[in-house]
Amino acid sequence: MTSVQTPPEVTLINPLPINQDSTTDFDMMALTMAALRFVNPWSVEAKAQWSEKIEPGTPEAKDRVITLVEVSAHDTPQDCWVVIYDRVYDISTFLDEHPGGAEIMLEYAGRDASTAFRSSGHSKAANKALERFLVGELPMHERMYRRPGGMRLSDIPE
Ligand code: HEM
């Protein structure tokens, strides 16, 4: 005789009991994040307060201090800055002229390109060409290559 087995009774236990206050917690978190975003000094909206755009390679560029955070806001093909050996270059007009192509330089838009520039084996002429695009220099506390009393790489331009 065959007997029909009934499955054992299963009681579902919610392993994570829903906290009645979880919605309130979430709202508080969202509110805090929104407030932080509002006061965030790095917000892109702050861009308007940063340095005026100047003509690259002009004498004022030598005295202008530009922070890494400001450089990072210039990261498009129309407005492309890079840092090479602690100096800031606006290469927006050079992208299409670059013998190595625009794509490779755009990877460094808004960022430090020193090691990429160095390891591509650029000539002395390429180092000299940098001057045309100079718009400023990093503040002392953000520099890696040109610190007073620091060791200088022999091949970085004056
Ligand atoms: C403002 C910055 C730059 C300037 C003025 C510049 C200038 C030049 C110049 C004049 C050349 C021709 C070869 C030479 O004279 O050395 C060249 C080639 C090249 N550059 Fe740049 N460059 C810059 C940034 C970069 C960056 C960030 C990269 C990234 C990796 C790069 C990668 C290359 C490569 C791969 C070549 C070789 C192209 C070939 O031989 O086919 N360059 N660059």
DSSP secondary structure string, 22-62? HHHHHHHHHHHHHHHHHH-TT-GGGGGGSPPP--TTSTHHH
Is the distance from the beta carbon of residue 126 to the nearest atom of ligand 1 less than 6 Å? Answer: yes
pLDDT at 22: 55
pTM of this structure: 0.73
Is the distance from the beta carbon of residue 91 to the nearest atom of ligand 1 less than 6 Å? Answer: yes
Is the distance from the beta carbon of residue 113 to the nearest atom of ligand 1 less than 6 Å? Answer: yes
In which order are the strands placed within the sheet that holds 87-90?
75-76, 79-84, 87-90, 134-137
Is the distance from the beta carbon of residue 134 to the nearest atom of ligand 1 less than 6 Å? Answer: no
**CA of residue 103 to ligand 1 center, whole Å:** 11
Is the distance from the beta carbon of residue 105 to the nearest atom of ligand 1 less than 6 Å? Answer: yes
Q: Spell out the residues 6+ positions from residue 3 whose beta carbon is closer than 8 angstroms to its own.
A: none
The H or E element containing residue 115 is helix 114-119
pLDDT tens for the chain, 158 residues: list them.
556 676 667 665 655 555 555 566 668 888 887 787 767 656 555 454 577 778 899 988 888 999 999 999 999 999 999 999 999 999 999 999 999 999 999 999 999 999 999 999 999 999 999 999 999 999 999 999 998 888 777 777 77
**CA of residue 97 to ligand 1 center, whole Å:** 10
pLDDT at 156: 79
